[in-house]
Every structure is written in C-alpha cells, then in structure tokens.
C-alpha cells in the first residue's frame, strides 16, 4: 500500500501514520521527522533547515526532494510507504509524481485528515506543553497554518481533481480516526 497523508499541522498525520505503519507493514516516511533528525545531528542540511522550521516556513523544495530520493533509494519502500508531510505545495506534488513514475510506482490513496482550526491549535498547544517542539509556539503555529492554507491546500484540490483524494474526519479519539482511515483503505488493502 502506498499512502500519502495530508492535513494541517496538528491534524494527526504523524500519530496515525505510526499506527498505520504496523497495520500496513510499510515504512512511515515523515519529512518533518527526517528534517528534525538532521537538525538534531547538526548536519549542514540541518543547520540550513533549523531556522526555517522554527519560523514555521517551508524548507526548500530542492532539499526536500534530495531527502526523499535518498529515502526512496532504500529497499524497504518497495513494499509500499506512508508519506507524511510531503507534498506541501504543487511543485512538490509534481516532483513526487515524477519520482514515483521513475520508480515505476503510483500511490494508492492521498488521505486528507480534516480537523477544524480551533482543535488544531488546542492539540498543538497540548504538545507544546508536553514536548516543547521548537515550532509549536503560537507565532510559528499561526505561520504553519497560513502556509498550509496558501501552499498545501492547492495540493488537496489537485488530488481531488485527479480523483485520488480520500477525505477522513480527523475529529475523535485516536482509535476512531484510525478506524475511519482503515475503512477508507479497505478495498485497496484487499486487492493489494
Ligand atoms: P511536520 O513535522 O510535517 O509538521 P506539521 O505538518 O506542522 O504537522 P504536526 O507534526 O504539527 O502535526 P501532525 O498532523 O503530524 O499531527 P500529530 O500526529 O503530530 O513539519 C514541520 C516543519 O518541517 C514544517 O513546518 C516545515 O518547516 C518542515 N517541513 C516538513 N516537511 C516539509 C516539506 N515537505 N516541505 C518543506 N518543509 C517541510 O498530532 C499533533 C498533536 O495532537 C499530538 O500531540 C497528538 O498526540 C495530538 N493528537 C493527534 N490526533 C489526536 C486525536 N485524534 N485526538 C486528540 N489528540 C490528537
């Protein structure tokens, strides 16, 4: 199963991807996690990305594509993947299509998690207290939500127009949302 998880900051992409990974037995590829690992390692890429991420802006498309190509060169992605946090703009959507075409692959579903903004802000505020992620402060959260509206929402429309989008209600308990996603994927899981 090849899955692209879309949704605004705090919609539960990372949380649900961690569960889906076990359910589908495919790797979870989070571009946010890959970037945070680079920042933590203090690599040249991490140093470039750190301030951009802290401000809640998007890291450059070239850096992201390089990271993604590197990750997809590993054998474990041949069985499928859950891509979380990519694509985030139309340039990245085109780059993903090209990369998958080169690899002779196509994703099965783009799943959009839908959650109202007030709840996103509440969830992220909860995580800020629990984990202190550098970009979970109110100013960066506002920016991340704005970037989502301006740059990522067109990706959702693009996949919708292509007939590749599945929208899932992301409000409810972790189990409820997980069940909704797996129900939406069920037909493809049976055949593939
Ligand atoms: P990224 O790490 O992708 O962050 P994000 O999109 O802002 O998403 P979050 O991690 O905030 O939310 P999520 O939807 O994963 O929700 P989660 O499961 O964590 O990106 C960070 C930054 O990296 C970007 O701003 C950018 O700078 C850079 N970047 C990454 N990818 C990039 C790209 N492709 N191009 C350019 N730059 C890129 O849940 C949030 C909280 O809610 C958690 O505390 C969780 O426990 C809780 N929660 C989840 N579900 C529920 C539920 N059902 N009920 C109650 N609480 C819940």
pLDDT tens per residue, range 87-130: 999 999 999 999 999 999 989 999 999 999 999 999 999 999 99
From 4, 10, 66, 129, give the residue whose CB has the most ligand 1 atoms within 8 Å, as the site to mutate: 10
> Dihedral (C-alpha) 140, 145, 148, 149: value to the nearest 10 degrees?
-140
For the chain, the domains span: 2-28+77-191
Question: Considering the chain, what percentage of its residues have pLDDT values greater than 70?
Answer: 98
pLDDT classification of 190: cutoffs 50, 70, 90: low
Known catalytic residues are 13, 88, 127, 133, 144
Output the pLDDT for position 186: 87
Which CATH topology does 2-28+77-191 take? Rossmann fold (3.40.50)
Kindly report the number of other CB atoms within 10 A of residue 73's CB atom.
9
Give me the mean pLDDT over the 1-15 stretch: 97
Q: What is the mean pLDDT of the chain?
A: 96
Q: What is the pLDDT of residues 120-159, one digit of tens each?
A: 999 999 999 999 999 999 999 999 999 999 999 999 999 9
Joined tokens for residue 26? 């495919």
| Interacting residues of 64 by C-beta distance below 8 A, sequence separation 6+ | 31, 86, 92
Output the pLDDT for position 35: 98
Phi, psi of 161 (to 5 degrees): -60, -30
Is 15 annotated in a binding site? The answer is yes
Is 31 annotated in a binding site? The answer is yes
From 5, 11, 13, 15, give the residue whose CB has the most ligand 1 atoms within 8 Å, as the site to mutate: 15
| Interacting residues of 97 by C-beta distance below 8 A, sequence separation 6+ | none
Q: Which atom, in ligand 1's list, is nearest to the CA of 33?
A: 2
Give me the mean pLDDT over the 16-21 stretch: 97
Give me the mean pLDDT over the 17-36 stretch: 97
Q: Which atom, in ligand 1's list, is nearest to the CA of 52?
A: 27
CA distance 81 to 135: 26
Question: Picking from 35-39, 177-181, 185-189, which range would have the lowest pLDDT averaged per residue?
Answer: 185-189
Omega of the bond leading into 142 within 30 degrees of 0 (cis)? no
């Amino acid at each position: 199963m090849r899955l692209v998880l879309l949704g605004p900051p705090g919609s539960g992409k990372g949380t649900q991807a961690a569960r889906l990974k076990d359910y589908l037995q495919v790797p979870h590829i989070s571009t946010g996690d890959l970037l945070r690992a680079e920042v933590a390692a203090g690599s040249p890429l991490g140093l470039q990305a750190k301030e951009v991420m802290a401000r809640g802006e998007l890291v450059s498309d070239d850096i992201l594509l390089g990271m993604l190509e590197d990750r997809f060169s590993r054998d474990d992605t041949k069985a499928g993947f859950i891509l979380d946090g990519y694509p985030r703009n139309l340039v990245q959507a085109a780059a993903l299509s090209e990369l998958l075409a080169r690899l002779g692959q196509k994703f099965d579903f783009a799943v959009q998690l839908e959650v109202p903004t007030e709840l996103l802000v509440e969830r992220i505020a909860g995580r800020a207290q629990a984990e202190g992620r550098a970009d979970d402060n109110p100013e960066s959260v506002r920016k991340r939500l704005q970037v989502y509206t301006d740059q990522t929402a067109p990706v959702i429309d693009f996949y919708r127009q292509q007939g590749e989008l599945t929208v899932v209600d992301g409000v409810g308990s972790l189990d409820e949302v997980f069940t909704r996603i797996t129900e939406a994927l069920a037909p493809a899981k049976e055949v593939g």
